[in-house]
Amino acid sequence: MAGAFFVAIVFSVAVLASLLTGVFLVVTKQWHSNFTSDHAGSGPQKLHVGAVPRIGGIALMTGFSVALLIAKITIPNGEEINAPVWFILALFVPFAVGLGEDITQRFGPLSRLLATFVGASLAYFFCGATIVRFDVPPVDALVALHPAIAFGFTLFCVGGIAHAFNLADGLNGLLAGLTLTAGAAVAAVAHMTGDVFVFTIATALIGAIVGFALLNFPRAWLFAGDGGAYLLGSALAIALILLCNRHPAVSPWFAFMVVLYPFTDTTYSIYRRWRAGNPIMSPDAEHLHSLLARRFNTLYGEHGRNLASAAVVIASALFVAAATSVYTATLKLVALAVAYVVIYVIVYRIVSSSVEADSCKQVNVSLD
């Protein structure tokens, strides 16, 4: 594995490149705000105040790409950092389409999903990011039937995870916190398995997120936007696929645990929209983190949103840390996943009921 000095170089370069790019975007906001900023109330899921640029993905992409290329040049045994340019290109496709949506509002969910498929295809063919197992015997047998099936599962998982992280980008610091937690877990397991390439990817990603997070929490000067969310989701999905593929001891259920909050929240959102007869892809403010923010706003005032974001990140981090400690033990990981989903549903119903009660109280007060 690379020494601490070279790890520090990769991390520092990522932080600085991301932060400086982000500061530039914020400082020049007056020149591009008309087509790059989110405004309060511009959508049901927009809970912020004021106009904030939603092109933070540029900072994330810059920090990550520069750090990964520097790593290839700087780190001893740099030949172990395979195909960094192809990995960057695999992320650039969903990032670019997401950024296009941030600026023009003309790239819908299908376009962005197809972009993640293209990026996953590049990673599949040029980086070796292939799903070969799920540690579920019937599914594993299906995947083993033909490479085309493994290819299809790879596209589906990368696209699904990237979209889930995009939906989780609803509060200051939430996306950054969730992806920092996930990146740290990937880095830890990559270090334990001696995987220089995946460890370097995770380190560069963590650094880029830290640089961006300084401008996103507690006050949001910059949003990741669709470009940033699809970049981070795709990067984590591909890194996790590489980790499981290159190291048979790593359970696929570890990968599942790392992305469990976005996955659970997205799946539950699809279910409740379907039950309500609403389009399953339409945005709303009924995600767990959105409801928690409304509840905490009632209890704690203007700091409620940030407290809700912190609560979700900390809860997720606890489960991810537990999963990292047993990353080879599939049965324990399955038990953790089941426990997480059960707790999620219980908490969602409690918070939803509380928010509904708060709304009724406000209506009664206004009538009085």
Residue with tokens 């009660």: 357
pLDDT reading at 185 higher than 50: yes
pLDDT tens per residue, range 329-358: 999 999 999 999 999 999 999 999 999 987
If you average pLDDT over residues 303-309, what whole number do you get?
95
d(CA 187, CA 131): 19
Q: What is the pTM of this model?
A: 0.93
Q: Does residue 214 contact residue 73 with C-beta atoms inside 8 Å?
A: no
Residue 41 structure tokens = 């109330």
Distances in whole angstroms, Cα of residue 50 to Cα of each of 33, 53, 213, 219: 12, 10, 18, 11
Residue with tokens 């900072």: 59
Which has the higher per-residue pLDDT, 216 or 50?
216
In this prediction, residue 55 carries a pLDDT of 97
218 preceded by a cis bond (ω within 30 of 0): yes
In this prediction, residue 20 carries a pLDDT of 98
Q: What percent of the chain is modeled with pLDDT above 90?
A: 81
pLDDT reading at 365 higher than 70: no
d(CA 221, CA 216): 6
Q: Does residue 309 contact residue 290 with C-beta atoms inside 8 Å?
A: no
| Contacts (Cβ under 8 Å, ≥6 apart) of 312 | 171, 174, 177, 178, 261, 288, 289, 292
pLDDT reading at 217 higher than 80: yes
pLDDT tens per residue, range 266-290: 999 999 999 888 888 778 889 999 9
- Residue 313: how many other CB atoms lie within 10 Å: 23
- pLDDT band at residue 362 under the 50/70/90 scheme: low
Q: Does residue 101 contact residue 92 with C-beta atoms inside 8 Å?
A: no
In this prediction, residue 279 carries a pLDDT of 85
